[in-house]
Structure 1
Amino acid sequence: MTRVALIEDNADFREEVRFHLDRAGFTVVFQGDGREMDAIFPEPDCDLVVLDLGLPGIDGLDVARRLRRTKPSLGIVIITARGGLTDRISGLQNGADAYLSKPVDMRELVAVLESVERRVMTSFASSETDSGHWTLRPPLLVLESPAGVRVSLTPTEVALLRCLADEGDAPASREALASAMGHPEPDFDFRRLEVALSRLRSKIDSDAPNSRVIRSARKRGYVFAAPLRVDPGMR
């Protein structure tokens, strides 16, 4: 799931935004009014940030600059009552990917986040391309990172990764992944797929920290957001 930090001082508006992001398939991993910024720095554990500029005792533009400097690939969307042209230009110049003026239509906010999400995923995939391929070695039940770190797998996890590898940089549908697990529709409980993928993500992130390679392509399935090949002769 794409992880979002929500920094907004209006509690009612914050809950409204969270409700719509949850419905759209995002996962809000942090929310607050800005006074808890130490929970985000020094390493933002999220993919996107929704940031209000009018935070109590904090310069929102300074927060945007710090976020961008700390994690260049982070997606930053500013939502604020400051709707003037100078404010919008300043926000974009200080690290924001998008700048929305309140009142915000939640459909527009979701669409903007989806657009920024695509940039984040493309940026991540490009960085992984530069550093090399991940390699799946089915007979050994191993996934090898570009740095040579080996992640031990179960047969089910190998099947899921092979399904993702078959799709390249396109998403593998939930139905295809369920079939790879040996449980085609219509009787399959897709919560089992979510659990299996969550465990696989945790295992990869534990052995290869900050890899974040298995990503949700909301409403379309899942994608391995880096070059992944199956070891020739072992397929």
Structure 2
Amino acid sequence: MSSPSSSAAASSSAPAADVASNVASAPREGAALSSPQVVVLDDKDSQASAESPNTDRAGNEAAASSAAPAAAPASEPAPAPAPAPVAAKASTTSAKPKKRATASSSLSSSAKRIQKELAEISLDPPSNCSAGPKGDNLYEWVSTIVGPGDSPYSGGVFFLDIHFPQEYPFKPPKIIFRTRIYHCNINSQGQICLDILKDNWSPALTISKVLLSICSLLTDPNPADPLVHSIAQQLINNRSEHDATAKEWTKRYACC
């Protein structure tokens, strides 16, 4: 049989045990109560992380919109040149080769003609005459004429320069006496007054025929169309005096 004191002690210890159990369970309830707060914090973080892409996108769009005006001037194309000057320049450029082509064809035609005449005069030179190019220049010739035996220029050798224009044979050659000669149709500069070298020129004429005409002029001067009027008057009025002076000049200037 238990004593009253032990019963009282047992009854008094029961409430103490309940209190102890409550105290022991208190932290677990506190932890359970604090867990919703942790969930709320997680929701806020997830909401913040969900909103961050929108914030970053807005920031990127703002940065792109602010950078767009600065990039625009670099992408602007340079102004195109006016079309009219380009067209005019093209037409001018296309016209120049056309002129050069025409000049080249004309030069080739004249060169062929001169080469042909050179071959002819080399094979069959005119009497008392010779002619040929100076060096490699086909358009510059030198010629010699031996004074005809039945003239006051007999025994003399006269040198002449011949220049062929690029338009030859449609324009006459230019012939100059380099040796001084006393003649009414040849002046002190060596220029010759001969109709076939001026108005009566024809493309059918050749340099051989021209040299023959000059030789004939030495034999038969033309005082009616003189370059030196004083010599022409002397020839008409005093032929013997004229011939004596012509012979003297030939000995002085044309004899080797």
Same fold (TM over 0.5): no
Higher relative contact order (CA 8 A, sep 6+): 1
TM-score bucket (shorter structure) = under 0.3
Structure with more of its chain in helix, by fraction: 2
Per the normalisation by structure 2, the TM-score is 0.26
Per the normalisation by structure 1, the TM-score is 0.28
Larger radius of gyration: 2
